[in-house]
Amino acid sequence: YGIVIDAGSSRTTLFVYKWPAGKENNTGIVSEHSYCKVAGAGISSYAADPPAAGNSLKTCLDRTVETIPTERHAETPLYLGATAGMRLLNLTDPEATEGVLAALTTTLKSYKFNFQGAKILSGSEEGVFGWVTANYLLENLVKYSWIGRWIKPVRSTVGAMDFGGASTQISFVPREKIEDPESEVFLRLYSQDYKVYTHSYLCYGRDQVMKKVLSQMMI
C-alpha cells in the first residue's frame, strides 16, 4: 500500500494505492484502492492558522488507518505534495508557508505510517506527474494483454494539460529536441525511456483567472 495526499490549491484529497510485491520491467503495477476528500479549502488557506491545516487531515487519516491492514502500517509510505496554491503562498509569505508545512508534518508523523515528507511540488513535477497519470490510465505505458502478461503497447503517448486552481501544466513527448533543459524531464517506466517536455503557467489556473476577471470588472 501507499498513501498520497494531493494538496491542491482549492482542495486536498487523500489517495490510497496498492500494488503487488513484484514489478513489471522494474516498475510497479499500481491501482487505486480508495480515496477521501478532505473537508475545507486548500492548505494555503490556513496561512493565518497553520495548526488547522494539520487538523483538517485527521478525519481522512483516521479512515485510512481502518482501511489499510494494521500489520502493513509501518511499511506503508505516506507522501504529501502541495501544488500551485502553496507555490504562490511561498512567494508572498514564506514564513506562513513554513508554518503550514510544519503543522502538516507534525500531524502526519503522529500516525504509524512510513512518513516520507510533505513538500511543495515544482511546476515541472506537477506537470510530469499528470502526464504519467494520464498515459498510465490510458494504458499507453503498459497493458495487460490477452495472452496473460504485461506488454508495451504499440500506440504512442498523449500530451496532458492540467487546468488546476492556481496554475496550468502542459506536458508531452515532443518530436524535436527540447531546447530548454529546465523544461525536460527524463523518465524510465517499464524499461522504456521518455523525454517529456513540461511547463507550468503559474496564476493561469481557474481560481486565479477568475480573480483577474473579477478585478477587471471592479475597475
What phi and psi values does residue 121 have, to the nearest 5 degrees? -75, 145
Instruction: Tell me what pLDDT residue 186 has.
Output: 96
Rg of the chain's alpha carbons, rounded to an integer? Answer: 19
User: Rounded to an integer, what is the distance from CA 96 to the centroid of its chain?
Assistant: 22
pLDDT, tens only, 55-92: 999 999 999 999 999 999 999 999 999 999 999 999 99
SS3 assignment, position 170: strand
Catalytic residue from among 126, 139, 176, 184 = 126
pTM for this entry: 0.88
Instruction: Tell me what pLDDT residue 146 has.
Output: 67
Q: Is there a catalytic annotation at residue 71?
A: no
| CATH class of the structural domain 2-121 | alpha beta
Question: Residues of CATH 3.30.420.40 domain(s) within the chain?
Answer: 2-121
Q: Residue written as cell 514489478?
A: 23
Q: What's the number of CA atoms in the CB half-sphere (13 Å) around residue 97?
A: 16
Question: Residues of CATH 3.30.420.150 domain(s) within the chain?
Answer: 124-218
Instruction: Tell me what pLDDT residue 20 has.
Output: 87
Instruction: Tell me what pLDDT residue 207 has.
Output: 85
Task: Please determine, for residue 28, whether its predicted confidence score (pLDDT) is greater than 80.
Answer: yes
Give the CATH fold of the 124-218 domain. Answer: Nucleotidyltransferase; domain 5 (3.30.420)
